Amino acid sequence: MKPFSYQRARSVATVVAQASTRHRLLAGGIDLLGELKEGLTEADLLIAVTRIPGLDGIEQTPTGWRIGANVTIAALPAHAALAREFPALAAAAAHVASPQIRNVSTVAGNLAQHSRCWYYRHRDVQCLRKGGESCHARDGEHKYHCLFSGNWCISPLTSNLAVALAALDASVVVRNQQAERRLPIAQFYAPAWEDPAAHNALAPGDMITAVEIPAGARRSAYLQMSEKAEFDWALVSCAVALELEPEVGRVRRARLVLGAVAPVPYRDERAESALVGERIDEAIADRAATLLLEKAEPLPQNAYKIPIARALLKRALLQAVA
């Protein structure tokens, strides 16, 4: 690890005023410190943001909910009202890593974490995501990699929270020197679809300050499949959110999102539209799964993800309306 300076910030304004490609923000540090130790990134200055007032709260607003960037992952399922309104988010948070990590890792950190591809994480490999000429996973080990990608890199998004928040139409609040802006989850990750070097839309000097979830009478669910029952990345994850017609139970609006299968939370509007006006049953859920997975391009080692994704989506839909 190369030497760096350390500073503890007391305000968002202090942080964004120091916009630079050579500074990094430190909250829980779960991902950043690992990258620094492995020589995957460098920084002249680490700015600790965990003591900035106002970034560690969960509050209900007139238009929905606001979750501060420094709220820990453990705090999400522990907040009774939030977990009751958004069971998909509570379940996604409960599947993150271990209890010890959930107690220190933050919402913003989980959303902004970088690729977990072993070629990207190997300090001696210059893969496409690190400015190299090829994606070594395509002709190498790709068991955990993408079924969908808009570029040659097949490193998947691994954030559990991103998948649930995408289903809930959440937005990420980002501050820089010029302004504050709100990026829907799809827009926050959009650059990663086309640009192999991008993890998200954050630029030097940007800081996540909150996540906002709009109010709405939605039923939601989150499921994932991992190799180990605890403390493991998802092989495939799935979140659904449904607005139902009162009494009749027909779908008015649907969001279906897959994780760990693309560099972004993966959606297909055709699959969501196919549910509108329908009552959820196994046949309808299977039809939506077929549409959602229709454009998958599996590689020899990761085709197993397709039946897993199909099963998770069907189970999540049935769980959401149960």
Q: Which residue has the higher pLDDT, 258 or 42?
A: 258
pLDDT at 151 over 90: yes
- Do the domain assignments include residue 143? no
Spatial distance between the Cα atoms of 299 and 94, rounded to a whole number of angstroms: 30
Q: Clarify whether residues 242 and 180 are in a common domain.
A: no
- Asked which of 214, 247, 271 is the last residue of a domain, the reply is 214
Residue 195 lies in domain: 58-112+170-214
Confidence of residue 229 (pLDDT cuts 50, 70, 90): confident
- Do the domain assignments include residue 186? yes
- Asked which of 158, 184, 214 is the last residue of a domain, the reply is 214
Pairing of strands 180-184, 171-175: antiparallel
Residue 53 CB neighbour total at 10 angstroms: 11
- Asked if 207 and 13 touch (Cβ cutoff 8 Å), the reply is no
pLDDT at 2 over 90: no
Instruction: Please give the average per-residue pLDDT across 91-96, as a whole number.
Output: 98
Confidence of residue 177 (pLDDT cuts 50, 70, 90): very high
Question: Domain total for the chain?
Answer: 2
Which pTM value belongs to this model?
Answer: 0.97
Q: Clarify whether residues 209 and 225 are in a common domain.
A: no
Q: Clarify whether residues 232 and 193 are in a common domain.
A: no
Confidence of residue 49 (pLDDT cuts 50, 70, 90): very high
Q: Clarify whether residues 241 and 280 are in a common domain.
A: yes
Q: Clarify whether residues 64 and 210 are in a common domain.
A: yes
- Do the domain assignments include residue 281? yes
What per-residue confidence (pLDDT) applies to 19? 77
pLDDT in tens, 271-280: 999 999 999 9
- Do the domain assignments include residue 82? yes
Structure tokens belonging to residue 315: 């189970």
Instruction: Please give the average per-residue pLDDT across 62-71, as a whole number.
Output: 98
Angle, helices 160-167/185-194, rounded to nearest 10 degrees: 120
- Do the domain assignments include residue 296? yes
pLDDT at 54 over 90: yes
Strand-by-strand arrangement of the 64-68 sheet? 58-61, 64-68, 207-214, 171-175, 180-184
Q: Clarify whether residues 70 and 199 are in a common domain.
A: yes
- Asked if 49 and 9 touch (Cβ cutoff 8 Å), the reply is yes
Which range, of 12-21, 22-31, 152-161, averages the lowest pLDDT? Answer: 12-21
- Asked if 201 and 192 touch (Cβ cutoff 8 Å), the reply is no
Q: Clarify whether residues 94 and 242 are in a common domain.
A: no
Q: Clarify whether residues 268 and 208 are in a common domain.
A: no
Residue 40 CB neighbour total at 10 angstroms: 17
Residue 213: closest CA among 258, 172, 158, 252: 172
3-state SS track over 190-244: HHHHHCCCCCCCCCCCCEEEEEEEECCCCEEEEEEECCCCCCCCCCEEEEEEEEE
Q: Clarify whether residues 186 and 281 are in a common domain.
A: no
Residue 12 CB neighbour total at 10 angstroms: 19
- Asked if 182 and 212 touch (Cβ cutoff 8 Å), the reply is yes
Q: Clarify whether residues 196 and 293 are in a common domain.
A: no
pLDDT at 201 over 80: yes
Q: Clarify whether residues 89 and 177 are in a common domain.
A: yes
Q: Clarify whether residues 184 and 301 are in a common domain.
A: no
What per-residue confidence (pLDDT) applies to 224? 98
Spatial distance between the Cα atoms of 117 and 187, rounded to a whole number of angstroms: 22
Spatial distance between the Cα atoms of 293 and 297, rounded to a whole number of angstroms: 9
What per-residue confidence (pLDDT) applies to 22? 87
With a pLDDT cut of 90, the percent of the chain lying above it is 93
- Asked which of 146, 179, 214 is the last residue of a domain, the reply is 214
Which range, of 11-20, 142-151, 179-188, 235-244, averages the lowest pLDDT? Answer: 11-20
Q: What is the CATH number of the domain that holds 203?
A: 3.30.465.10
Cα 117 to its chain centre, rounded Å, is: 15
pLDDT at 128 over 90: yes
- Mean of the per-residue pLDDT values of the chain: 96
197-208 burial string, b = 16+ CB within 10 Å, else e? Answer: ebbbbbeebbbb
- Do the domain assignments include residue 152? no
Q: What is the CATH number of the domain that holds 278?
A: 3.30.390.50
Residue 261: closest CA among 183, 157, 186, 178: 157
Spatial distance between the Cα atoms of 315 and 30, rounded to a whole number of angstroms: 31
Residue 213: closest CA among 243, 185, 245: 185
pLDDT in tens, 22-39: 899 999 999 999 999 988
- Do the domain assignments include residue 149? no
- Do the domain assignments include residue 6? no
